């Protein structure tokens, strides 16, 4: 069963050919990051235009690397949402058009479930084992910070999400405050390695504080706007700058300590809530995916803290890619779950399909 997957939900144009859910024959990712860098974030219309230019060459390259001819494909899959609407429309329309021309099924994929699947792409045996479930997944990227529970019957539900910025956004916006390049996550990660994470005190959003009870409905939600504001004030104090339109004058050790202390606060909030959710719902496996799952400190801390088996996506399947789309689509196709040609792009896709992972490949 060979599937071509396409991913255009944000600023990566990606295509992959995956056989039987897990054998990645080719996976190509073309990043537009340099086009968005001058704006310090992704501009949806610009992303869509770049996808339009890149999609045909990327699909061609992917098929050729995979050694797969179009008539060997059993289906064409694409991300349906969540994501940026103009960007989603490009991949979705292309995939539907190709599937229609080939007279093959089209499969619309939920991007969040695909990120969870990315953690298991290289370990299909875990998905087959009933004792792996329920899986508690933390999906952290530039657009999402979500805790998902996946039951043994394949049913998924969202247990918590960010109320403001996504974790990746928290890193990207912090980098902007620190006058570092976009995307900020990898830069802060690198700087933090030489910094003292205990030097500066940052709030752990929605984790509760003495004398300030956490509302029960926010137990599994996240908030990163407070920590970002705290950074702004600390930078002002350290750089002795009232007007932030002046270039910052931070020493290298100050910058490293700010990066390390800030990163520690973001990572702590992610790890604390993930462990709470795992305990509340008696999860048997923890899974972590999404671009922020590349973060060295998050990988270290959650590995140290996890009390149940942990699967973190390999870095190449953390950031947006189409192998996770084509792989997950394999399970959908085998279960007869294909999409209509009227499938719409859904920027805030809330509905999660039920994927029978335990039936295995």
Q: Is 183 in the site for ligand KG4 (CB under 6 A)?
A: yes
Residue from 7, 50, 165, 189 touching ligand KG4 (CB under 6 A): that is: 189
Q: Is 113 in the site for ligand KG4 (CB under 6 A)?
A: no
What's the rounded Cα separation, in Å, for the pair 308 and 306? 6
Q: Is 118 in the site for ligand KG4 (CB under 6 A)?
A: no
Site string for ligand KG4, 5-44 (x = CB under 6 A): -----x----------------------------------
Instruction: Choose between 21 and 184: whose C-beta lies nearer to ligand KG4.
Output: 184
Instruction: Choose between 88 and 98: whose C-beta lies nearer to ligand KG4.
Output: 88
Closest distance of CB 36 from ligand KG4, Å: 11
108 binds, among Zn ion, ligand KG4, none (CB under 5 to 8 A by kind): none
Closest distance of CB 352 from ligand KG4, Å: 17
Residue from 44, 186, 226, 309 touching ligand KG4 (CB under 6 A): that is: 186
Only segment of 85-93, 185-193, 213-221, 252-260 that touches ligand KG4 (CB under 6 A): 185-193
Interacting positions 249-308 with ligand KG4 (CB under 6 A): 290-292, 294-295
Instruction: Choose between 10 and 355: whose C-beta lies nearer to ligand KG4.
Output: 10
Closest distance of CB 298 from ligand KG4, Å: 7
Dihedral sign for Cα atoms in the order 195, 306, 115, 148: negative
**Helix, strand or coil for residue 146?**
strand
| Number of residues that make up the chain | 361
Closest distance of CB 168 from Zn ion, Å: 9
Q: Do residues 196 and 260 lie in contact, with contact meaning Cβ atoms separated by under 8 Å?
A: yes
Q: Do residues 182 and 241 lie in contact, with contact meaning Cβ atoms separated by under 8 Å?
A: no
Q: Which residues form the interface with Zn ion (CB under 5 A)?
A: 141, 320
What's the rounded Cα separation, in Å, for the pair 138 and 342? 31
86 binds, among Zn ion, ligand KG4, none (CB under 5 to 8 A by kind): none
Interacting positions 123-182 with ligand KG4 (CB under 6 A): 141-143, 168, 171-172
Closest distance of CB 79 from ligand KG4, Å: 10
Q: What secondary structure does DSSP assign to 259-311, as a single string?
A: HHHHHHHHHHHHHHHHHHHHHHTT-SEEEEESGGGG-HHHHHHHHHH-SS-EE
Least Cα distance to 294 among 197, 158, 168 occurs for 168
Residue from 184, 205, 327, 330 touching ligand KG4 (CB under 6 A): that is: 184
Total residues at the site for ligand KG4 (CB under 6 A)?
19
Q: Name 136's Cβ contacts closer than 8 Å, sequence gap at least 6.
A: 147, 148, 149, 159, 274, 277, 278, 281, 283, 285, 286, 287
Write the CA distances from 59 to 7, 133, 216, 222, integer angstroms. 11, 35, 47, 37
Q: Beta strand pairing status for 12-19 and 2-7?
A: antiparallel
Dihedral sign for Cα atoms in the order 281, 287, 289, 295: positive
Cα pseudo-dihedral 168, 171, 175, 177, rounded to 10: 110
Interacting positions 313-332 with ligand KG4 (CB under 6 A): 319-320
The site for ligand KG4 (CB under 6 A) is made up of 10, 141-143, 168, 171-172, 183-186, 189, 290-292, 294-295, 319-320
């Amino acid at each position: 069963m060979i599937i071509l997957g396409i991913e255009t939900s944000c600023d990566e144009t990606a295509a992959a050919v995956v056989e039987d859910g897990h054998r990645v024959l080719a996976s190509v990712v073309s990043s537009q990051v340099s086009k968005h860098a001058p704006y310090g974030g992704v501009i949806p219309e610009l992303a869509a235009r770049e996808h339009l230019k890149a999609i045909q060459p990327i699909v061609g390259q992917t098929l050729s690397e995979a050694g797969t001819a179009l008539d060997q494909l059993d289906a064409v899959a694409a991300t349906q949402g969540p994501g940026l609407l103009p960007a989603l429309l490009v991949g979705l329309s292309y995939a539907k058009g190709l599937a229609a021309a080939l007279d093959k099924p089209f499969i619309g994929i939920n991007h969040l479930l695909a990120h969870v699947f990315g953690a298991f792409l290289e370990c299909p045996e875990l998905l087959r084992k009933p004792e792996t479930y329920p899986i508690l997944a933390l999906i952290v990227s530039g657009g999402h910070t979500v805790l998902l529970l996946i039951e043994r019957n394949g049913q998924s539900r969202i247990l918590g999400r960010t109320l403001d910025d996504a974790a990746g956004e928290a890193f990207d916006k912090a980098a902007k405050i620190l006058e570092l390049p976009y995307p900020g996550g990898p830069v802060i990660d690198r700087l933090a390695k030489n910094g003292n994470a205990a030097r500066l005190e940052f709030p752990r959003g929605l984790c509760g504080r003495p004398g300030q009870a956490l509302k029960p409905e926010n137990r599994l939600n996240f908030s990163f706007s407070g920590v970002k504001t705290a950074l702004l004030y600390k930078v002002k104090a350290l750089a002795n700058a009232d007007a932030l339109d002046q270039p910052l004058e931070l020493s290298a050790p100050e910058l490293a300590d700010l990066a390390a202390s800030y990163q520690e606060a973001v990572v702590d909030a992610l790890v604390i809530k993930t462990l709470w959710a795992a305990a509340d719902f008696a999860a048997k496996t923890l899974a972590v995916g999404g671009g922020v799952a590349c973060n060295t400190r998050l990988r270290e801390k959650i590995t140290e803290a996890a009390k149940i088996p942990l699967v973190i996506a390999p870095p190449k399947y953390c950031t947006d890619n189409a192998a996770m789309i084509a792989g997950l689509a394999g399970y959908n196709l085998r279960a007869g779950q294909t999409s209509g040609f009227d499938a719409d792009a859904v920027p805030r896709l809330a509905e999660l399909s039920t994927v029978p992972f335990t039936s295995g490949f």
